[in-house]
């Protein structure tokens, strides 16, 4: 007979974990940039550096040049494919595993014409997981995830997102084809 103050605990075994969906896709959105993009970006950097030179901000000039070359590297090198897995315990991106208790909600967004799954986390780091879908339909992922975390149909853009959208719309670095 069980003691009235004892409580039963449920023990989960490895066999309880089920993979709901898994796929491979690029680690970030990628679109090949034109020569015009690089030249326009370089002209903007030179203009900013001239202004910084006038004010004797040499270290800041170096930072601006470094950021430009970093963006050139990211926009010219295609990302490697990552393996993504959604299971009954959470989301795995390559070797990093996030349990459902760490994740807040999710939504979808198009970045450079590519459908992206964004999963917000409770903690500041990573803050948000950006997962490329590859060939997996967004509706299928939505149905799987809704059993574990809420779906947000509308997310209010942050000040930085609004600013970057305005800049890219009004001052494009390349013509849209």
pLDDT in tens, 95-149: 999 999 999 999 999 988 889 999 999 988 888 999 999 899 999 999 999 999 9
Among candidate residues 21, 7, 16, 8, the one with its CA nearest the CA of residue 147: 21
Among candidate residues 76, 77, 72, the one with its CA nearest the CA of residue 44: 72
* Cα 5 from Cα 143, distance rounded (Å): 40
Predicted TM-score of the model (pTM):
0.73
- Given pLDDT bands bounded at 50, 70 and 90, which one contains residue 15? low
Phi, psi of 69 (to 5 degrees): -65, -30
């Amino acid at each position: 007979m069980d003691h009235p103050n004892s409580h039963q605990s449920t023990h989960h075994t490895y066999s309880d974990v089920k993979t709901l969906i898994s796929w491979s896709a690029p680690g970030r959105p990628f679109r090949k940039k034109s020569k015009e993009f690089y030249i326009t970006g370089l002209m903007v950097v030179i203009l900013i550096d001239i202004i910084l030179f006038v004010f004797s901000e040499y270290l800041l000039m170096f930072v601006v040049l470094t950021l430009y070359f970093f963006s050139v590297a990211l926009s010219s090198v295609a990302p490697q494919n990552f393996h993504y897995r959604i299971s009954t315990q959470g989301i795995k991106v390559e070797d990093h595993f996030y349990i459902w208790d760490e994740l807040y909600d999710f939504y979808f967004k198009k970045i450079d014409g590519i459908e992206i799954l964004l999963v917000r986390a409770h903690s500041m780091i990573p803050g948000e997981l950006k997962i490329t879908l590859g060939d997996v339909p967004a509706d299928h992922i939505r149905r799987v995830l809704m059993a574990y975390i809420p779906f947000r149909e509308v997310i209010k853009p942050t000040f930085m997102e609004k600013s970057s959208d305005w800049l890219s719309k009004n001052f494009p670095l390349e013509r849209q084809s």
